[in-house]
Structure 1
Amino acid sequence: MLKNKKMRVVVVVILSLFLIGGASMAIIKEVEHLRTEKQKRQKVESIKESEKEVKDQAEARQKIALWVVQHFEGPEPIKTIEVGKIESYGILGSGGKAVSVRINQQDDNVFNVILDDENIPSGGVGGISEKFKYTYVDRMDTSLENVSVLYWR
């Protein structure tokens, strides 16, 4: 009778361990599944954000290029305007925004434009080299016709 009780206890303990082990494995698999699903969602959200950012920056590049065409003239007509990535400075953009611009794919024709909160040039220009060939003018009647706007850097 004592052997029977011991045998039952051993069998119950072994069955319990199998059940607990199986349940814990199911929990681990479910947690792993949830983790991968969360990573997939984050990746999709990240892609959506980057697509939105690219679209916003593309629109801003067009505005910046138009401003450049309207405010600079030189010995050569402007055929290509390369606009860099819009950079925010300071904590949460509190230091303002700026962008690098290159005219006609020439390194001598590089300068920085200060932007307002809506990524529109505010008129501040800096970082102009001594070999810069263009002068600042106001020609609001010009457009981006026959001018290529490219992403630079």
Structure 2
Amino acid sequence: MNLLNKKKNVIVLVIVSLIMIVLLGEDQLTIVKETELVREVLAQKFPSEAEKRQRIALWVVQHFEGPEPIKTIEVGKFESYGFLGTGGRGVSVRINKKEYNTMSLQLVKDSPNGGFGIHKANEFHFEKQNDKNLKGVEVKLWRSDNG
């Protein structure tokens, strides 16, 4: 999926750059400035996988409480379901490197607002605390053994 986002970014950047070249003519300095602006806008519109993992981890910290503090959040690969993602998107998360502290989050616009499912033995329970942050929490990419 990351490769698909990069391709989209490159295509949009090329198209916008070509339009700017045609409209601006020979003023190359302006083209360079506009290209940088386009890159910044694209970076905001299409956040990196690492930024998405940070957002997911923050949501987990702000919505789950357990018997021990959250020290590590491992965020899995972003999955699309159905034909071309029409079935939605989701991601798996593991807290404190414990297999039984796993959950699946349904994503709405790369934010886990669509619901969640947790492992039966999960020690953490839902408790909304928007004042929490990621200070002291390590966020990692979770590569499961199955693929």
Gaps of 5+ in 1: 1-45
Is 2:104 aligned against 1:112? yes
CA distance in 2, matches of 1:142, 1:130: 25
Q: Which structure dedicates a bigger proportion of its chain to helix? A: 1
TM-score with structure 1 setting the length:
0.63
1:144 alignment counterpart: 134
Hey, what's the Cα distance between the residues in 2 that align with 1:150 and 1:92? 27
Alignment-derived partner of residue 3 in structure 1: none
* Partner SS, residue 122 of structure 1: coil
> 2:90 aligns to what?
98
CA distance in 1, matches of 2:119, 2:104: 11
Aligned residue type for 1:120: S
Q: Note if 1:57 corresponds to 2:49.
A: yes
SS in 2 for 1:107: coil
Q: Does 1:71 align with 2:42?
A: no
Deviation at 1:80, TM superposition (A): 0.2
Task: Give the superposition deviation at 1:115.
Answer: 0.4
Counterpart of 2:72?
A: 80
Aligned structure 1 segments of 4 or more residues deviating by more than 2 angstroms: none
Residues 76-128 of structure 1 deviation map (CA, whole Å, 9 limit, x = unaligned): 10000000000001111110000000000000100100101x201115011x2
Paired residues in the alignment total 104
Q: Who is 1:17 aligned against?
A: none
Letter in 2 for 1:148: E
Deviation at 1:49, TM superposition (A): 2.7
Q: In the alignment, what sits opposite 1:132? A: 122
- Equivalent position of 2:13 in the other structure: none
Structure number with larger C-alpha Rg: 1
